[in-house]
């Protein structure tokens, strides 16, 4: 028996021996890794097509207040960030100089009213005498002219007094509406002149988003329409206030109002309006199935053998679902973590 034959017989014996190894002595087969969660199919459906028009969230109302007085600021009653109510005093200005003018105005009113009473009595007597042919026509005309001058003088005096009273009202600068103090432009001791800005008040309980788009994009937008929007990336709902021509270029400006009752969103924030364009086909998955690690987005894909994380590109999120731009195919199974219940896909088949 040569060496080659011996090696062959040995190999055959080892093979037979391995085949006779008891089942309990075999190493276990590798078990496929599974992730806890609910499998959901990637859906190919029809979604609303939109154009994200960039804009800025502005206060619904804003006013920079000044005064018609010239005087020293004696008190600043509200600071930046303070919430104020309609008519609340914000700034007080020294109005001592008005006191002398008001005294003069009151004296002028008293004198003018006395002259008016005297002219009325004289005109009444001359009318009676003229009726009895005891006064001439020229005397009657002179009495009527004197009465007219007295009436005009009284009106002028009362008007001057009313003007001073109105100016005294400017000694206290008040909030023109409920809102928040955005800027305080003076301090106590500063000199205020007519027209000098003193304080700026903003009403941010509602915000107005102004976004520009081409005329063909805004063709479907109507006043009163509710559209999705974002403010600093936060999803919100906006109500279209109107569509007007933009200041320059062949563009239109869409104005939409967003409720902000808690004033958590600030004026000047970056915003977008999702303007409707019709519909289109897209792949969607529940937003809860998306995993985010830094700038990367992924989803756990379930196959017959295992579950594996796959990096994907996602698009717009709306009503609990997110569009998938690449990385998944229709019908593939993705896993929604158990902590998040699968969203009802708010799309049209």
30 has a pLDDT exceeding 50: no
pLDDT on residue 247? 79
| Whole-model pTM over 0.75 | no
**pLDDT tens-digit readout, 106-119:** 888 899 899 999 99
Mean pLDDT of the chain: 85
Q: Give the mean pLDDT of 57-61.
A: 95
Spell out the SS3 assignment of the chain.
CCHHHHHHHHHHHHHHHHHCCCHHHCCCCCCCCCCCCEEEECEEEEEEEEEEEEEEEEEEEEEEECCCCCEEEEEECCCCCCEECCCCEEEEECCCHHHHHHHHHHHHHHHHHHHHHHHHHHHHHHHHHHHCCCCCHHHHHHHHHHHHHHHHHHHHHHHHHHHHHHHHHCCEEECCCCEEEEEECCCCCCEECCCCCCEEEEEEEEEEEEEEECCCHHHHCCCCCEEEEEECCEEEEEEEEEEEECCCCCCEEEEEEEECCCCCCCCCCEEEEEEEEEEEEEEEEEHHHCEEECCEEEEEEECCCCEEEEEEEEEEEECCEEEEEECCCCCCEEEECCCCCCCCCCCEC
Q: Hey, what CATH topology would domain 43-58+202-336 get?
A: Elongation Factor Tu (Ef-tu); domain 3 (2.40.30)
48 has a pLDDT exceeding 70: yes
32-41, 131-140, 180-189: which range is least confident on average? 32-41
102 has a pLDDT exceeding 80: no
**pLDDT tens-digit readout, 201-233:** 999 999 999 999 999 999 999 999 999 999 998
1-10, 226-235, 259-268: which range is least confident on average? 1-10
11 has a pLDDT exceeding 70: no
The CATH 2.40.30.170 domain(s) of the chain lie at 43-58+202-336
pLDDT on residue 31? 44
173 has a pLDDT exceeding 60: yes
Q: Give the mean pLDDT of 328-333.
A: 94
pLDDT on residue 105? 82
pLDDT on residue 188? 94
302 has a pLDDT exceeding 70: yes
What number does CATH give the domain 97-169?
A: 1.10.287
Per-residue pLDDT band at 340 (split at 50, 70, 90): low
The CATH 1.10.287 domain(s) of the chain lie at 97-169
Strand pairing report for 321-326 and 270-286? antiparallel
pLDDT on residue 76? 95
């Amino acid at each position: 028996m040569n060496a080659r034959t011996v090696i062959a017989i040995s190999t055959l014996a080892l093979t037979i021996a391995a085949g006779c190894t008891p089942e309990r002595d075999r190493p276990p087969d590798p078990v496929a890794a599974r992730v806890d969660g609910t499998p959901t199919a990637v859906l190919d459906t029809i979604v609303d097509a939109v154009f994200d028009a960039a804009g800025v969230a502005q206060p619904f109302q804003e006013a920079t207040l000044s005064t018609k007085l010239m005087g020293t600021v004696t008190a600043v009653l509200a600071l930046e960030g303070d919430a104020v109510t309609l008519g609340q005093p914000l700034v007080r200005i020294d109005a001592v100089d008005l006191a002398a003018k008001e005294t003069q105005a009151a004296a002028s009113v008293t004198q003018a009213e006395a002259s008016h009473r005297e002219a009325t009595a004289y005109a009444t007597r001359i009318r009676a005498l003229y009726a009895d042919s005891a006064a001439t026509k020229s005397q009657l005309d002179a009495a009527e002219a004197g009465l007219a001058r007295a009436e005009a003088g009284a009106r002028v005096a009362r008007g001057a007094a009313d003007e001073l009273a109105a100016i005294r009202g400017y000694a206290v600068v008040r909030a023109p509406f409920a809102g928040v103090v955005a800027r305080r432009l003076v301090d106590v001791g500063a000199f205020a002149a007519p027209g000098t800005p003193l304080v700026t008040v903003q009403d941010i309980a509602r915000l107005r988003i102004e976004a520009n788009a081409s005329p063909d994009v805004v063709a479907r937008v109507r006043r009163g329409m509710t559209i999705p929007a974002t403010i600093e990336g936060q999803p919100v709902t906006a109500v279209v206030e109107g569509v007007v021509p933009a200041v320059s270029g062949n563009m239109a400006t869409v104005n939409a109002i967003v409720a902000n009752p808690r004033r958590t969103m600030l004026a000047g924030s970056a915003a977008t309006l999702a303007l409707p364009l019709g519909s289109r086909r897209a792949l969607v998955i529940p937003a809860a199935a998306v995993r985010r690690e830094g700038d990367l987005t992924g989803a756990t894909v379930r196959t017959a053998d295992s579950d594996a994380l796959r990096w994907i590109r996602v698009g717009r999120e709306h009503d609990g679902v997110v569009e998938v731009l690449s990385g998944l195919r229709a019908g593939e199974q993705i896993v929604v973590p158990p902590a998040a219940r699968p969203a009802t896909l708010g799309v049209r088949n």
